[in-house]
Amino acid sequence: MKITFYGSRGSIATPLLLNEYHKKTKAILNLYKDSQIKDIDDFFATLPLELSQIFGGNTACITIEDDGEDILILDAGSGLRELGRKYTSVNNKTFHILLSHFHWDHICGIPFFKPLYNPTNTIIFYSPNIDLIENLKRQQHPSHFPLSFDKLPAKKKFVILNEQNPYSLNGYKIFHIELNHPGGSTGYIISKDDKKVSYATDTEFTPENIDEKSLFFKACFESSDVLIMDTQYSLTEFFSKFDWGHTSSTMAVNLALEWRVKRLVLFHSDPEHTDEDMIKILRDAEEQIKQFNKRQLKIILAVEGHCIEI
């Protein structure tokens, strides 16, 4: 399975600001000036994470692919536009879009997804929410967007994930669960052969609410090869944003350790966070694991364009 990130920011798309760009390029040029390595590509390979990457302009969108099968897409935030650009000249393709919920940051890429403008393509939307179609139409009401959802030329299908759980799709088993978020959110546990990818974004795990369902969540997420999880806040921020529907990175690491996850992806970063803030959250999470030192849990900060192969 190949997992690719097209959008990892939470709440609203957050492009790199000019002052942040200048700060990064100045730091890179200063390092280059003093470096013995003058080949640009070789030099770039030596850069630390904070200078070699930018973290999260686009909002939630991730693909899961396996051996050229149809593409599974987790959420349709602004990153979906970038994904669609890869398929502008591809015909007869089927895309499966699993939606966590209908907050803007998870659906705003739909009107800009180029494959929806090609009548030979099929786009299948999945959600347990019975208002799935209405919620998508509402986003493209004439007062919000010039073209209605109905008029998008691709073939559109809708699957309400209620009865079948797990749902079988091209060899994938897709199990969905309810998460704790204002207005509701859906988590997905996707497995194929012996691989398991879990997606739990827009969810507030607290010691209190996890307590009631701790065995259920453990059974769901246990031994995930990859857990992509809402870590919008640092622990300090979480205390002032209690009940806002998002999880702290500290809590996510604790849960990932308890659930014996192999790789935890820090996802749905706060739009107020600079790249430096996110690196700090990553380093703090790595420190937290060192304290346990019982097993290897790899922490990954979601970066657009980054692929994880399992």
Question: Binding residues for Zn ion, per CB under 5 A?
Answer: 10, 103, 105, 202
For residue 118, report the phi and psi dihedrals to the nearest 5 degrees. Answer: -110, 115
Q: Which is nearer to Zn ion, 76 or 261 (CB)?
A: 76
- Three-state SS at 256: helix
C-alpha torsion angle, residues 181, 83, 43, 274 (rounded to 10): -30
The tokens for 304 are 């657009």
Label residue 124 exposed, middle or buried (CB < 10 Å: 0-12, 13-18, 19+). Answer: middle
d(CA 77, CA 58): 7
The tokens for 106 are 């998870």
- Shortest Cβ distance from residue 180 to Zn ion (Å)? 11
Compute how many other C-beta atoms are within 10 angstroms of the C-beta atom of residue 150.
Answer: 10
d(CA 5, CA 114): 18
- Shortest Cβ distance from residue 254 to Zn ion (Å)? 22
Q: Which is nearer to Zn ion, 192 or 273 (CB)?
A: 273
> Treating both helix axes as pointing N-terminal to C-terminal, what angle do 249-258 and 275-292 enclose, rounded to 10 degrees?
40
Residue number closest to Zn ion, CB atom? 103
- Shortest Cβ distance from residue 103 to Zn ion (Å)? 4
Q: Which is nearer to Zn ion, 105 or 304 (CB)?
A: 105
- Shortest Cβ distance from residue 216 to Zn ion (Å)? 21
Q: Which is nearer to Zn ion, 172 or 205 (CB)?
A: 205
Q: Which is nearer to Zn ion, 62 or 169 (CB)?
A: 62
- Shortest Cβ distance from residue 10 to Zn ion (Å)? 5
